[in-house]
Structure 1
Amino acid sequence: MTCSPARGRLRILAVAAGGLFVAAGGAAWTAVTTQLRHEDITVPPNADLLPGRRVLGPLSAYAQAEVIKRNAERGTGGRTFADISAALRGVDGDSDEARELRGHSASLATAASLRTSLMTSVLAYGVSALVAGLGTVFLVAGAQLNRKR
């Protein structure tokens, strides 16, 4: 028994979409990894996860982002942007304390920017894996549509 024309078209569509999704997911994963490789980032030894490893994947990017967060918090004595902003409103703008607070604010801003970039790569890895996984589901579904009953 052969499959119906509608079923055959659906199979072709599923396999084509699956192949496209797997290729797109793999290409996105490769693009993110290539960009991280060019940055030549190594997770520092004080990291809880993957110390000393190059940042070339989602776990190492996450580990690096966490180290940046921890170091920024330590550098500001645990103060947040809100804490620093409130403290700046209560001191003379030309004082040594104000200069120190502005330095802490700049450090937190830099850390936030770096963490955002790394977490964006973690998110991109997740989306690319999702797309490739969905493509695999389409490929399997398309292959099942080809089976005879």
Structure 2
Amino acid sequence: MSTAAAKVNRTGPAKPVRVIAILLMLAGLVMVVAGATTWFTVQSQLADERITVSEDADWFAGEKIDGPLTAYAEAQIIEKHALESSGGKTYAELDREDPARQTVMNGSFLRASLFTSVVSFGIAAMAMGLGVVIALIGYAQFLLARSLAAAPEAAA
């Protein structure tokens, strides 16, 4: 077997594995950056609203709402306040003419908005976590490609 043929055989299986490995590492990096960008954008938008958790909340009372836990805590206390104002009835249970209906509706809208932020933080964290895992898989595959390329040399 000629030297040129040996080189083709040696790099043949390793090259596609290496290309896929690099693509996986890049995809992982993109996911980490996208997740971090989403996290910090949502955090910034919440902080810009200058909302604080109500003083009577079970957790984080008086703290600035700028993360998933504080947003969740405020959503919980809004529900408590809305139910107190309506005598324990939800929006759907109130009569159309009930004056508490508007307060409960506003509370529902605020809670939905806060929960959207909580979900956005979760998706951002998931994207970052999956990005790290995908990048690590790509790195492991890159090391595998290296060993595939070196294996014929060791056998020769």
Is TM-score (shorter-chain normalized) higher than 0.5? yes
TM-score bin, normalised by smaller chain: 0.7 to 0.9
Structure 1 length as normaliser, TM-score? 0.85
Q: CA deviation at 1:7?
A: 0.7
Q: Residue 131 of structure 2 corresponds to which residue in structure 1?
A: 135
Q: 1:1-149 counterparts in 2 under 5 A?
A: 4-85=14-95, 98=97, 101=98, 103-147=99-143, 148-149=146-147
Q: Distance in 1 between matches of 2:93 and 2:139?
A: 58
User: CA RMSD, aligned part only?
Assistant: 1.6
Q: Deviations over 1:27-68 (max 9, x none)?
A: 000110010011001111211111111111000000000010
Q: Structure 1: which 5+ residue stretches go unaligned?
A: 89-97
Across the two proteins, how many residue pairs are aligned to each other?
A: 135
Q: Offset at 1:146?
A: 2.0
Give, in whole Å, the separation in 1 of the partners of 2:54 and 2:74: 8
Q: How far is the alpha carbon of 1:138 from its aligned partner?
A: 1.0
Percent identity at matched positions?
34
| SS at structure 1 position matched to 2:87 | coil
TM-score, normalised to structure 2, is: 0.81
Once structures 1 and 2 are overlaid, which stretch shifts more, 15-24 or 137-146?
137-146
Question: Higher Cα Rg: structure 1 or 2?
Answer: 2
| Runs of 4+ deviating beyond 3 Å | none
